[in-house]
Amino acid sequence: MRPTQRRGPMVHRYVPILRWKRGERVGMRRLSVGGRRDVLPLFVCGADRFVGRKATKTRAAIQPADAFADELRSTWGIDPVSLDASAVAHGSASHHPIIDIGSAARAQGLTFIPATRLDAPLLYQQGVSAVAATDKRGVVLRVDLQQFTSASAWIGAWPHAPGDTDLVVDFTNNVVTVASLGSTLDAAFQTLHRAGDWRSVTMTGTSMPENFSGFAAGLHTISRSELRLWQRLSSLALPYRLDYGDYATVPTVPPPSGIAWGFPINAKYPLSDNFVVCRGVSTTGLGSVDMDVQLRGHAQSIRAYPVRGSLAHCWADQQIDAIAAGSTEPGNLETWVQLGINRHVEVTRATVP
């Protein structure tokens, strides 16, 4: 069945986890009205992406937190958005930049919710608490399965009330292994400590391999295992609503420095229940093919895919069709990050009720 754009409030909230990359931000900015509905983006910002803007002849320098808030508003407006900035470096022993981000977001009128983990650095945790105390919008807490099942052991030390906490159980790239736990996993969700007290509970993870390693050149189909696991868990008789999240990009961790990331030239295209992976070849050496040739070929493969489920309201689908037809340039790898994020969120929001 082809997903269609839904109108009105959704039953479940969708929490896409994203890196703070320009291509991702552009893809999110171009979502349709329906594609944004009941979506809470959770951005994870690394130290290398928290930078200011240098002064020019016509503009004064902009501090990192202000530049970040400007971009956040440009990307998502004033709708609720969450950020995990625990990896952002700081030069103070008493002040984490999350406080500055919170202040800048407040000045911009943003609905900003800080996100953290139980093992985040103490200074960051203190900064999160300071932002939450001022804004009174609560926090997002990401936990792994072991922490999810042992909430009774740590909740006494958790500085925020469950009613002010959006709990996100993150299976990262271990979705298939976790799903194999079967009834044991079901019981963990059914017996979550103080189950009805949390402001929200979300399951998230990814089934995508990093950079599609191990795949031969050509088209491949990968099951959206995280979506299927959520569908199974959310159908249980749970004493709370289980919302859905996933990694809208491929890797769960940033690539190591010095790696020519993106070669061979690959593309990921989400369907309502699977991913289509267009695995390319290198752009240099024996058997190489130019990037623009490969990207146009990927667009043509996607357009011709028999159960594609193109969405009329999806900017990425319109662009991919134009690239396949030759009326638009194929762009570069960042272009396809934009397209991949935009299609991922649109089709997921159209699939998850």
Sketch out the chain's domains with CATH numbers. 14-351 (3.20.20)
Strand partners of residue 139: 165
Q: Structure pTM?
A: 0.92
Averaged pLDDT, 278-306: 94
Averaged pLDDT, 128-149: 98
Whether residue 118 is predicted with pLDDT greater than 90 in this model: the reply is yes
Q: pLDDT at position 51, please? A: 75
Closest CA to 251 of 173, 176, 175: 173
Strand partners of residue 39: 14
Averaged pLDDT, 137-166: 98
Whether residue 255 is predicted with pLDDT greater than 80 in this model: the reply is no
Q: pLDDT at position 62, please? A: 79
Closest CA to 194 of 147, 152, 148, 157: 152
Averaged pLDDT, 57-71: 84
Whether residue 203 is predicted with pLDDT greater than 90 in this model: the reply is yes
Share of the chain above pLDDT 90, in %: 80
Strand partners of residue 267: 278
- Residue 64: which pLDDT band, with cuts at 50, 70 and 90? confident
Whether residue 181 is predicted with pLDDT greater than 90 in this model: the reply is yes
Give the three-class secondary structure for 32: coil
Whether residue 2 is predicted with pLDDT greater than 60 in this model: the reply is no
Whether residue 304 is predicted with pLDDT greater than 70 in this model: the reply is yes
DSSP 61: -
Q: pLDDT at position 54, please? A: 73
- Residue 290: which pLDDT band, with cuts at 50, 70 and 90? very high
- Residue 259: which pLDDT band, with cuts at 50, 70 and 90? very low
pLDDT tens digits for range 88-109: 987 777 889 999 999 999 999 9
* C-alpha to C-alpha distances, 11 to 7, 86, 311, nearest whole angstrom: 11, 31, 21
Q: pLDDT at position 1, please? A: 46
Averaged pLDDT, 294-315: 97
- Residue 219: which pLDDT band, with cuts at 50, 70 and 90? very high
Averaged pLDDT, 171-183: 96
Give the three-class secondary structure for 188: helix
Give the three-class secondary structure for 265: coil
Distance CA 159, CA 224 (A): 35
